[in-house]
């Protein structure tokens, strides 16, 4: 094994292990942006998986042996994962629906084709006649050409453009955190530009080398093949670091640009709400709903929801639970409550279950409930 190959293996493995480590850390993040972190972790895992596959091939694994059949390329999922990551960041209410699964249909098509094509190795005896028409041409198109990489690149380009369009629509007419939106744009544009270059090279390779020369073998022979994976390694390394640094940040906060009159109305409503909460301690009602609270304040539910979103930058449940957590902290300082258990104090503060209390403490204080007494 020459020095260049060893260096290449090191670069690919560094990118792969970086992606895996940060992917695991993102999955363990349970406070803020949970879905976005999970989607980014999925993207990092798939990129890392592809780098590991190439590293094993460089080490002599994966050539028509047992490893080969476990190396199904899942790169067609990268585009949708990138798009849904952006969507989860800018739409905190986003959750997967059944129709969202349609975006991953190409992945299952690709897996099905890959299994069919690779099974042809069981029948091939070195002659074209040993394979069926579909088996032969499927193998040629799928394995001897860069079909998998071309389609994967096209999907990433399509979904990167969709993500950029989504960003453009979402930020139109609203104020938004410049640093966060610039970082997300930078990620998406990096994927878009990189895979536009990759696609252009793949098409040039197909037209110039394959068609004109009659040489159909794409794998392992072109000068750009492993530099392509070095680029993937750099992307994985960079996205992993940046994603981890921002894993506990709030999703991209957006605020509608309101008229001065509307803004003042919401600010006055916020003052009334805070005063009411301090005096009446309505948050102690474990079944309190936003409509009930709006009725107590004397406004419509939609107006109270807008106030929470614009002034407090919180959802109703987060606003109420933050007050309940603060109440538990206050009760812990009361000598008369010293003999009470933490759970009983949580119930007194308005929580209706141990699990909801635990989640609220982790989200608002960033600690385990057991640490509150210290």
The answer as to whether 253 is a domain residue is: no
7/75 same-domain check: yes
Which pLDDT value is given to residue 174?
47
| Tokens read off for 170 | 């979402």
150/267 same-domain check: no
Neighbours of 148 (CB within 10 A): 18
Q: Can you tell me the distance from the alpha carbon of 189 to that of 118, in angstroms, rounded to the nearest whole number?
A: 34
116/183 same-domain check: yes
The answer as to whether 199 is a domain residue is: yes
282/176 same-domain check: no
pLDDT tens by residue, 108-161: 888 888 888 877 777 777 777 788 888 888 877 777 777 888 898 999 999 999
Q: Coil, helix or strand for 245?
A: helix
The answer as to whether 251 is a domain residue is: no
| CA Rg value for the chain | 27
72/29 same-domain check: yes
In three-state form (DSSP H/G/I as H, E/B as E, the rest C), the secondary structure along 37-102 is HHHHHHHHHHHHHHHHHHHHHHCCCCCCCHHHHHCCCCHHHHHHHHHHHHHHHHCCCCCCCHHHHH
- Point out which residues pair with 174 in neighbouring strands: 256
212/276 same-domain check: no
266/306 same-domain check: yes
133/177 same-domain check: yes
The answer as to whether 179 is a domain residue is: yes
Which residues touch 358 (CB under 8 Å, ≥6 apart)? 368, 369
- Give the chain's domain count: 3
362/266 same-domain check: no
pLDDT 10s digit of each residue in the chain, 374 long? 778 888 888 888 999 999 999 999 888 865 667 888 889 999 999 999 888 888 887 887 766 555 555 555 688 899 999 999 988 887 766 778 888 889 999 988 888 888 888 777 777 777 777 888 888 888 777 777 778 888 989 999 999 999 998 887 666 544 445 566 778 888 899 999 999 998 988 888 777 766 665 555 554 445 556 778 888 999 999 988 888 887 766 655 555 556 778 788 888 999 999 998 888 899 999 999 999 999 988 888 888 888 888 888 888 888 999 999 999 999 888 888 888 888 899 999 999 888 889 988 888 888 888 888 76
| Residue 265 structural domain | 258-313
Boundary of a domain, candidates 313, 331, 354: 313
82/42 same-domain check: yes
The answer as to whether 90 is a domain residue is: yes
277/210 same-domain check: no
Contact 320/274 with Cβ under 8 angstroms? no
Q: Can you tell me the distance from the alpha carbon of 62 to that of 60, in angstroms, rounded to the nearest whole number?
A: 7
DSSP 8-class letter at 131: S
37/145 same-domain check: yes
Residues in the chain: 374
The answer as to whether 77 is a domain residue is: yes
The answer as to whether 332 is a domain residue is: yes
pTM for this prediction: 0.65
Q: Coil, helix or strand for 255?
A: strand
CATH of the domain at 92: 1.20.1070
C-alpha 159: how far from chain center:
14
């Amino acid at each position: 094994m020459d020095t260049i190959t060893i260096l290449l293996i090191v670069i690919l493995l560094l990118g792969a292990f970086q992606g895996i480590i940060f992917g695991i850390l993102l999955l363990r993040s349970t406070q803020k942006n949970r879905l976005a972190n999970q989607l980014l972790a999925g993207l990092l895992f798939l990129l890392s998986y592809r780098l590991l596959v190439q590293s094993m091939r460089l080490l002599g694994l994966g050539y028509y042996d047992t490893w080969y059949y476990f190396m199904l390329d899942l790169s067609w999922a990268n585009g949708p994962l990138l798009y849904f990551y952006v969507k989860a960041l800018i739409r905190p209410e986003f959750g997967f629906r059944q129709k969202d699964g349609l975006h991953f249909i190409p992945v299952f098509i690709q897996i099905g084709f890959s299994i069919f094509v690779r099974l042809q190795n069981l029948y091939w005896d070195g002659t074209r006649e040993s394979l069926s028409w579909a088996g032969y041409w499927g193998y040629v198109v799928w394995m001897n050409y860069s079909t998998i990489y071309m389609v994967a690149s096209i999907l990433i380009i399509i979904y990167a453009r969709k993500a950029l369009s989504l960003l453009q629509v979402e930020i139109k007419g609203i104020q938004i955190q410049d640093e966060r939106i610039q970082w997300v744009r930078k990620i998406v544009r990096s994927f878009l530009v990189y895979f536009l270059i990759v696609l252009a090279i793949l098409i040039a390779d197909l037209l110039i080398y394959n068609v004109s020369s009659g040489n159909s073998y794409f794998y392992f022979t072109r000068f750009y093949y492993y530099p392509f994976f070095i680029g993937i390694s750099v992307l994985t390394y960079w996205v992993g670091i940046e994603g981890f640094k921002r894993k506990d940040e709030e999703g991209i906060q957006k605020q509608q640009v309101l008229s001065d009159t509307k803004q003042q109305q919401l600010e006055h409503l916020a003052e009334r709400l805070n005063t009411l909460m301090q005096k009446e301690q309505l948050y102690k009602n474990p079944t309190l709903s936003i409509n009930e609270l709006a009725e107590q304040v004397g406004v419509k539910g939609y107006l109270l929801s807008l106030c929470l979103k614009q002034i407090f930058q919180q959802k109703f449940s987060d606003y109420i639970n933050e007050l309940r957590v603060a109440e538990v902290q206050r009760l812990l300082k009361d000598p008369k409550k010293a003999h009470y258990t933490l759970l009983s104090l949580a119930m007194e503060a308005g929580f209706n279950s141990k699990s909801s209390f635990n989640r609220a403490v982790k989200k608002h204080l960033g600690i385990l409930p057991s640490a509150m007494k210290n």
